[in-house]
Structure formats: structure tokens, C-alpha cells
Amino acid sequence: MVPLHYYLLVSAMLFILGTLGVLTRRNALVVLMSIELMMNGVNLSFIAYSRYLGNMEGHVYTLLSISVAAAEVAIGLAILIALYRNKPTINIDDFNIMKF
């Protein structure tokens, strides 16, 4: 049986890797994938604690989080496609459409 702190260590590494991707990359698709990595790190910690404590609450929160992540990806990609039609780039620094 794998100890809890191994799961939490992998979860923290996924979250940190996602955070670094959001903070350092300028490509909008890479930023969306980094946000997904962060959410997967949190989901792993929910599942690990749920298994450690012997209840199903972590599984329920993870299922809810996965459904929210799917909606986030669908809306994010739709926004990116709409922005790409106006300006053919996916660099985040070039998007200033909503500024006055």
C-alpha cells in the first residue's frame, strides 16, 4: 500500500508545475493545459485524503471538479476560437480587445 504522503507529493508537484506553466507561458492553449494540471493535482489530493480517511466525500468533490473542468475547457476553447478569428494569434500578450 502506498503511503499518503507519496500521493500528496505527486499532487503538489502537479500543482506547482501547473502554476509555473500559467505564470511563465504566453500561449493561451498552454495556459489552459496548465490550469488543467493544477486541477488534476487538487483532484489527486482529494482522492488521496478520501481513501486515507475511508469516506467518499473526496470522490464526490473530484467528480464535481472534473465536470467543472470540462465546462471550463469548453468555454475557454470557444473564447480562444472567437479571439483567433479576430486576430490570428493565440499569444496572451496580444489580446487587448476589451481595453479602452
pLDDT in tens, 82-91: 888 887 888 8
- On whether residue 70 sits in a domain, the answer given is yes
Give tens-digit pLDDT for 34-72.
999 999 999 999 999 999 999 999 999 999 999 999 999
Instruction: State whether residue 93 is helix, strand or coil.
Output: helix
Number of domains, the chain: 1
Domain hosting 42: range is 4-92
Q: Among 25, 38, 21, 34, which residue's Cα sits nearest to residue 92?
A: 25
**39 located within any domain:** yes
pTM: 0.86
Q: What is the CATH number of the domain that holds 60?
A: 1.10.287.3510
- Report the b/e string of 13-43 with b at 16+ CB within 10 A: ebbeebeebbeeeeebeebbebbbbbbbbbb
* Secondary structure (3-state) at 87: coil
Instruction: Answer whether residue 97 is part of any domain.
Output: no
